[in-house]
Amino acid sequence: MTPLLRSGKAPVTETRYEVSHPKFAEVRAHINKMYNAGLRQTIYLSGPPGVGKSACVKAAAGDLDIGFLAVPMTIVDPLDFGGLPAVLDRGDGPYAQRLPFVDMIPTTGKGLLLFDDLPTAPPLSQAAAYRTIWERDTIGPDWLIVATGNRDSDRAATQRMPTPLVSKMGWLDFEPDIDGWNLMMAGRDGSTLILAAFRGNQRLGRRRSRH
């Protein structure tokens, strides 16, 4: 199932890519399609903790055979987004400009840049990320930003994101996928007792994901 672009119930005027209980592979495929189509609007994966949002972004980068860089937003200093001041010369005299840290805001190559746990970041860090998400004047053209975050209902110490930031991202609701988890764990020689428990009572997994 391919996620469809439509108006949703997101705050204010943001665009949401609505999927009913999207599978891990389907979200990966959607990110891949966005990247291959040359679309660079930031994608936001919203869902409960521990369902594989960040792992999904990394897997999508592997599918595309491109780079992957994760920025842990909860510990990022807002000043880090500006980089270090440098004196440059374009031929008409020196001028000052801040150059971003390449291990945080890549300017060359291609890949997926993950802003992990964006709504958990302090307000100033969210505001700093807004410029990169909206203006894209410091990030390389072949990099797609994907942000992840928990919902307010998850009681995961989230901060209210500014409306301008929210409205500049396309949203995907990332729900737990019990069948996909079973397949992944079976491939990793997971405990047969745990697999059997989830297969026999998938409501258990869904109920626990809400708490």
- Taking the C-alpha atoms of residue 32 and residue 20, their distance in angstroms, rounded to an integer, is 19
d(CA 158, CA 4): 27
| Measured CA angle at 105 (ends 108, 76), to 5 deg | 165
Cβ(200)–Cβ(45) below 8 Å: no
Query: The tokens of 50 are what?
Result: 């521990």
Q: What SS3 class is residue 60?
A: helix
pTM here is 0.73
Q: What is the model's pLDDT at position 15? A: 39
Tell me the per-residue pLDDT of 67-91, one tens digit each, with 9 for 90 and over: 999 999 998 888 888 778 788 777 7
What is the rounded CA–CA span in Å between residue 97 and residue 160?
Answer: 31
**Which pLDDT value is given to residue 187?**
63
DSSP state at residue 62: H
Alpha-carbon 103 to chain mean position: 17
> Could you say which residues of the chain have pLDDT below 50?
1-22, 205, 209
Residue 20 DSSP SS3 = coil
Task: Determine the longest span between alpha carbons in the chain, in angstroms.
Answer: 72
Provide the pLDDT for residue 181: 65
Residue 64's pLDDT is what? 96
Q: Would you state the pLDDT for residue 190?
A: 60
Residue 210 has a pLDDT of: 52
Question: Which pair of tokens denotes residue 178?
Answer: 């019990």
Q: What letter does residue 24 receive in the DSSP assignment?
A: H
Amino acid occupying residue 98: R
Bridge partner residues of 67 (DSSP): 111
9 CB neighbour count, 10 Å cutoff? 8
As a CATH number, domain 4-175 is 3.40.50.300
Q: What ranges do the domains of the chain cover?
A: 4-175, 178-211
| SS3 per-residue string spanning 141-204 | CCEEEEEEECCHHHCCCCCCCCHHHHCCCEEEECCCCHHHHHHHHHHCCCCHHHHHHHHHCHHH
Of 123, 120, 144, which Cα lies nearest the Cα of 132? 144
